[in-house]
Chains A and B, each alone.
Chain A
Amino acid sequence: MQSFAKFVSSSAHYRPREGMAAFLLHRISGLAVLLFLSIHIVDTSTVYFFPEFYEEFLAVYRAPVFMLLEIALVAGVVYHGLNGFRIALFDLVLPAAWTIERERLSVRLTILLAALLWLPAGLIMGGNFIGYSFLGW
């Protein structure tokens, strides 16, 4: 765990280049999605084991803070998938085409495309968040 503490402290004054940023975002989004997925499988399993608890789980997900986390979750899923495609493309399909310039350009394009794909979903979910949290839908 010493290496992890060193990693955290050195990250505070290190500005990552594109490849490092893509790697960090991939890790953070992957771990966050896995955390939600683990909870999501357990909560969904209550529909069979304890049906009376399922609605209580849903009441938690409908809380404003969880609606915001859900919007972030969608951003994580979109980015992690696109970046995974980028990695697999260089690893499996075009290993000979890899250059550091293409790596950096591909990361910028991946983040841009992820933002564009997430935007309409974020707008719809953001509308729901405002409606259900403040307008009494």
Chain B
Amino acid sequence: MTALEQTAAPGRPAWMQTAWILMRLSALLLVPMVWIHVLIQDVLVGVHHIDLDYVAMRWASLGWRAYDAALLCFAFAHGVNGLRQVLEDYIHGPRARRVLRILLFLFWLAVTLLGGAAVIGGARS
């Protein structure tokens, strides 16, 4: 049995396999996208050359805005789902897991909306 078939084991909700597949598909996109983002901003530009004007200049290009929006969607969802998997290794009760999933979903939603509003609204000076 392959790992993909194992995720569809009977008694397991369908969204788990969807989440499992999304983890791997988002990861394939994330590897080049995050590496390029980190290479440009952390290594080549560096935090000492980043300020409000730099963000405004970058977001003047619709392409970079879309790039950052995509990073926000894929990277943060991938990370929060990963955190869910880690915590569910230690939290086993069905009630506790339900509470955990609701809390993590709200955390994901709040931070994504915050970041999404900024990407759409843009830098103000």
* Chain A residues within 8 Å of B, Cβ to Cβ: 1, 3-4, 27, 30-31, 33-34, 37-38, 41-42, 44-49, 51, 54-55, 58, 61-62, 66-67, 70, 73-74, 77-78, 81-82, 84-85, 88, 90-92, 95, 121, 124-125, 128, 132, 137
Q: Is the CB of B31 within 8 A of A34?
A: no
Docked Cα-Cα span, A121 to B50, in Å, equals: 18
Docked Cα-Cα span, A33 to B30, in Å, equals: 13
A-B contacts, CB under 8 A, total: 120
Partner of A121, one of B3, B30, B39, B118: B39
Docked Cα-Cα span, A44 to B51, in Å, equals: 10
Docked Cα-Cα span, A135 to B124, in Å, equals: 33
* Chain B residues within 8 Å of A, Cβ to Cβ: 2-4, 24, 27-28, 30-31, 34-35, 38-39, 42-44, 46-48, 50-52, 55-56, 72, 75-76, 79-80, 82-83, 86, 90, 111-112, 114-115, 117-118, 121-125
5 contacts between A and B (CB under 8 A): A38-B76, A62-B48, A67-B47, A84-B24, A92-B3
Distance between B22 CB and nearest chain A CB, rounded to angstroms: 12
Distance between A3 CB and nearest chain B CB, rounded to angstroms: 6
Q: Nearest chain-B residue to A63 (Cβ)?
A: B47
B contact residues around A66 at 8 Å (CB): 47
Distance between B49 CB and nearest chain A CB, rounded to angstroms: 10
Q: Is the CB of A77 within 8 A of B55?
A: no
Q: Nearest chain-A residue to B125 (Cβ)?
A: A51
Partner of B34, one of A61, A81, A90, A128: A81
Q: Is the CB of A124 within 8 A of B52?
A: no
Distance between A132 CB and nearest chain B CB, rounded to angstroms: 6
Q: Is the CB of A51 within 8 A of B75?
A: no
Partner of A74, one of B43, B72, B83, B112: B43
Q: Is the CB of A77 within 8 A of B38?
A: yes
B contact residues around A62 at 8 Å (CB): 47-48
Distance between B73 CB and nearest chain A CB, rounded to angstroms: 11
Q: Is the CB of A91 within 8 A of B4?
A: yes
Q: Is the CB of B124 within 8 A of A47?
A: yes
Partner of A81, one of B4, B35, B79: B35
Q: Is the CB of B2 within 8 A of A95?
A: yes
Q: Is the CB of A48 within 8 A of B124?
A: yes
- With A4-B90, A47-B118, A78-B35 known to touch, is A37 a contact of B3 (CB < 8 Å)? no
